[in-house]
Amino acid sequence: MSQIWIAVIGASVTAFLNKYFGHSVPEKWLDKPRFKRINTLVPIVLLSALVGVQTFANKKELVIDQRLAGVGVALIALKFKAPFPVVVVSAAITSAAIYNWF
């Protein structure tokens, strides 16, 4: 079996185990206020980290390019309470315009 097949099947299995594990651990885990506070912050830190990495990282290098302009426009759109598709499309248009014309 090729490395790609191993990666496809292996990563699919662990992804499902991750998801199923979360649904199966006892509910009382959530009853602790400390755990609830941490659990509320977990998506915030992971999604924020993803934003940072996807905006600035090029492999292992940090760069400033068209993506930052796109994300900046998205943040402005969010500030003005724009709906989700407007936020994403305005970011894409901004980034594409800079990438294609400069």
- Site for other proteins, residues 11 to 70, rule: CB under 8 A: 11-12, 14-16, 18-25, 27, 29-30, 33-34, 37-57, 59-62, 66-67, 69-70
The set of residues, in sequence order, having a beta carbon less than 8 Å from that of 65 and lying 6+ positions away, is: 58, 99
* Minimum distance of other proteins from residue 86's CB (angstroms): 9
- Cα(63)–Cα(4) distance, integer angstroms: 29
Amino acid at 23: H
Number of residues that bind other proteins (CB under 8 A): 76
* Minimum distance of other proteins from residue 101's CB (angstroms): 11
Segment 72-91, which members bind other proteins (CB under 8 A)? 73-75, 78, 83-85, 87-91
* Minimum distance of other proteins from residue 31's CB (angstroms): 9
Q: Is the Cβ–Cβ distance between 61 and 81 less than 8 Å?
A: no
- Cα(33)–Cα(28) distance, integer angstroms: 11
